[in-house]
């Protein structure tokens, strides 16, 4: 592997710093669980990963917190790919400051394979991770031809220009530190049970997913609006006196890059919106979703997401890392209750030749209960909902109840949309 030698080129994304705070609460990672109908070819996978590292050399690096740089850690993909037992723990916390920024664990289950990819969220975001998956599968299928002329572009010139064209707006209150943030209860551990890593996932049926999409079209809202609102309402049910839904919503800033400058961008290009609506506990879900849609549209029209990165971008060249982390804490801090949407995973691009892929579950960092994050994504026409938690059996059960409640509210939204369409017609 050849690393870029120019120090500036290895330290050109200050947005990496967004994910270096709160290590004691959560560790920055993206987790991808792939299930195959037949075993994947590990030798072919090693060759494919080595090819991707020629495009993204940071994959084989450790992260140097001191100066936000990448330093060599491993030289070959065989050092980051391991075949383990079916019941092995593949979720030990990685150390991105000592080890490579990616890890593969392959588990044979007697029918096929389950492969877990753990990638550093310091290195990239959800959209960048999806780009990496497509690059990996292309390298697996076509070999060296897949990276011919391919470059990973990580510069932020486009963001600096965007910030210049959008002066800071006057803030009304502290939108990143709401007065009434959502929260789940802290349970008492009466058995002294040790918290454990848990990954839970649900796949909505193709029929239910299709009905949801149809309902959003009829109501003039988005699937993201529905997922964000139903999750918020499910958590809000634990706060009997709360009528406010304040929950951050990440957004991919690549959408602001002109198509003429579109390129492979496996890097952190995520900021976040901070929607907040008044929504009484007993409010019909379709009404709450409509409110959330209006609020999200208002924030999009104002490019409010820029507020979460503006100070960091303005000062990253002149301030020490400790100061930059404080800036991040002020404008992009870790919320106890969080939401992320990986969007659609293109199953026509995520193909491993000769090894049918049956499921893909994307989740974020492991959070200590009662912290909680739902991760949404769509694969092969089915909406996936998942979460990673470090918690006891009872705490994990609370998380599962929240997701079941969220799914129930999605069904209520579909039903209300159908009734509304019937009344209109």
Strands 113-120 and 29-36: antiparallel
Confidence of residue 108 (pLDDT cuts 50, 70, 90): confident
- Decide if pLDDT at 188 tops 90: no
- Decide if pLDDT at 169 tops 70: no
- Structure confidence by residue, pLDDT tens digits, 3-38: 433 434 444 689 999 888 877 778 999 999 999 999
Q: How much is the pLDDT for 1?
A: 34
Decide: 13 and 268 in contact? Cβ < 8 Å: yes
Q: Minimal CA–CA distance to 164: which of 308, 273, 313?
A: 313
Q: What is the DSSP string of 171-213?
A: P-S-TTS-SS---------TT-PPPEEEEEEEE--HHHHHHHH
- Structure confidence by residue, pLDDT tens digits, 212-256: 999 999 999 999 999 999 999 999 999 876 899 999 999 999 999
Residues in the chain: 425
* Cα 389 to Cα 399: distance, rounded to the nearest angstrom: 8
89 in helix, strand or coil? coil
| Cβ-based neighbour number of residue 368 at 10 Å | 15
Q: How much is the pLDDT for 20?
A: 87
* Cα 71 to Cα 291: distance, rounded to the nearest angstrom: 47
| Cβ-based neighbour number of residue 167 at 10 Å | 8
- Structure confidence by residue, pLDDT tens digits, 250-305: 999 999 998 767 789 999 999 999 999 999 999 999 999 999 999 999 999 999 99
Q: How much is the pLDDT for 171?
A: 58
pLDDT above 90 as % of the chain: 76
Mean pLDDT of the 101-111 span: 90
Q: Which residues contact 299 (CB under 8 A, 6 or more apart)?
A: 273, 274, 275, 305
Least confident segment among 79-93, 115-129, 325-339, 361-375: 325-339
Who wins on pLDDT, 112 or 395? 395
Give me the residues paired with residue 116 across strands: 33, 105
pTM for the model: 0.93
Confidence of residue 120 (pLDDT cuts 50, 70, 90): very high
Which whole-number Å values give the CA distances from 207 to 151, 380, 414, in the listed order?
39, 12, 12
Least confident segment among 20-24, 43-47, 95-99, 333-337: 20-24
- Structure confidence by residue, pLDDT tens digits, 56-78: 999 999 999 989 999 999 999 99
- Structure confidence by residue, pLDDT tens digits, 336-377: 999 999 999 999 999 999 999 999 999 999 999 999 999 999
Confidence of residue 133 (pLDDT cuts 50, 70, 90): very high
Mean pLDDT of the 172-186 span: 73
Exposure class string for 302-324: b at 16+ Cβ within 10 A, else e: ebbbbbbbbbbbeebeeeeeeeb
pLDDT above 70 as % of the chain: 93
């Amino acid at each position: 592997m050849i690393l870029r030698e120019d120090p500036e080129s290895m330290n050109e994304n200050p947005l990496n710093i967004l994910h270096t705070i709160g290590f004691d609460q959560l560790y920055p990672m993206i987790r991808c669980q792939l299930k195959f109908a037949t075993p994947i070819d590990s030798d072919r996978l090693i060759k494919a990963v080595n090819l991707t590292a020629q495009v993204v050399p940071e994959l084989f690096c450790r992260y140097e917190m001191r100066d936000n740089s990448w330093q060599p850690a491993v030289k070959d993909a065989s050092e980051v790919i391991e075949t383990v037992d079916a019941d092995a723990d593949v979720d030990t916390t990685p150390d991105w400051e000592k080890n490579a920024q990616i890890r593969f664990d392959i588990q044979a289950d007697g029918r096929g394979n389950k492969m877990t990819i753990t990638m550093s969220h310091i290195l990239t975001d959800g959209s960048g991770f999806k780009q990496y998956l497509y690059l990996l599968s292309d390298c697996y299928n076509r070999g060296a031809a897949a990276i011919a002329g391919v470059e990973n572009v990580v510069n932020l010139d486009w963001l600096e220009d965007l910030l210049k064209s959008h002066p800071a707006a006057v803030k009304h209150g502290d939108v990143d530190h709401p007065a009434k943030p959502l929260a789940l209860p802290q349970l008492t551990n009466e058995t002294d049970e040790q918290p454990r890593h848990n990954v839970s996932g649900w796949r909505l049926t193709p029929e239910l997913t299709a009905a949801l999409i149809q309902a959003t079209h009829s109501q003039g809202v988005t699937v993201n609006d529905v997922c964000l609102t139903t999750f918020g309402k499910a958590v809000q049910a634990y706060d009997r006196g709360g009528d406010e839904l304040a929950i951050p919503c990440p957004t991919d800033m690549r959408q602001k890059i002109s198509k003429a400058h579109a390129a492979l961008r496996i890097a952190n290009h995520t900021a976040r919106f901070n929607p907040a609506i008044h929504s009484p506990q007993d409010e019909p879900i379709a009404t709450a979703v409509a409110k959330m849609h209006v609020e999200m549209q208002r924030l999009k029209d104002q490019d409010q997401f820029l507020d979460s990165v503006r100070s960091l971008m303005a000062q990253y060249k002149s301030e020490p890392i400790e100061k930059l982390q404080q800036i991040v804490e002020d404008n992009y801090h870790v919320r106890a209750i969080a939401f992320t949407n990986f969007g659609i995973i293109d199953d026509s691009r995520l193909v491993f030749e000769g090894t049918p892929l049956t499921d893909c579950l994307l989740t974020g960092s492991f959070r200590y209960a009662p912290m909680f994050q739902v991760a949404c994504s769509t694969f092969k026409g089915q909406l996936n909902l998942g979460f990673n938690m470090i918690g006891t059996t009872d705490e994990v059960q609370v998380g599962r109840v929240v997701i079941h409640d969220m799914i129930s509210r999605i069904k209520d939204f579909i039903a209300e949309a159908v009734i509304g369409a019937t009344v209109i017609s």
